[in-house]
Amino acid sequence: MRAGRQVWKIDLIVDGGPENNNGAVAMLLESIPLKKLIAGVDATYSNSLIEAVNKILKYRCLFRGPIPDLEHLKSAVMKAIEDYNNRPHWTLWG
């Protein structure tokens, strides 16, 4: 701890895209105790596994129809989780 402020040892791993590497993100990160690492540049590991799940969630479920409000979003996410958890994943041998 420094002068009443908790210091976290948390890394934020991002890809090299402009949505993660810009002035607004840099300014935000100056105000919070996160260390940004770019996968494949600053870190030998990557967040590609969770990004694959996020892609499935978005394209298989969320982008298929309108989501007019938070309640519809919650419902769509719950259905997506249920579907994902109960479907065979061939990369894991079913």
**Tens-place pLDDT, residues 4-54:** 566 667 888 888 889 999 999 999 999 988 889 888 888 877 777 778 888
Q: What is the pLDDT of residue 40?
A: 82
Q: Are residues 41 and 54 in the same domain?
A: no
Residue 71's pLDDT band (boundaries 50, 70, 90)?
very high
Range of the domain at 18: 1-46
Q: State the amino acid at position 73 in one-letter form.
A: L
Q: Residue 49: what residue type? A: L
Statement to judge: residues 3 and 35 lie in one domain: yes
3-state secondary structure of 39: strand
Asked if residue 34 and residue 74 are part of one domain, the reply reads no
**Among residues 11, 30, 46, which one ends one of the domains?**
46
Residue 1 has pLDDT above 60, yes or no: no
Going 14 to 58 to 66 to 82, the CA torsion angle's sign is negative
Asked whether residue 69 falls in the same domain as residue 86, the answer is: yes
Using the predicted structure, report yes or no on whether residue 84 has a pLDDT greater than 90. Answer: no
What does the pLDDT read at residue 69?
95
- Residue spans of alpha helices (H) in 1-94: 23-31, 48-56, 70-85
Q: How many structural domains compose the chain?
A: 2
CA distances from 2 to 5, 8, 12, 36 (A): 5, 11, 21, 20
Query: Does one domain contain both 21 and 55?
Result: no
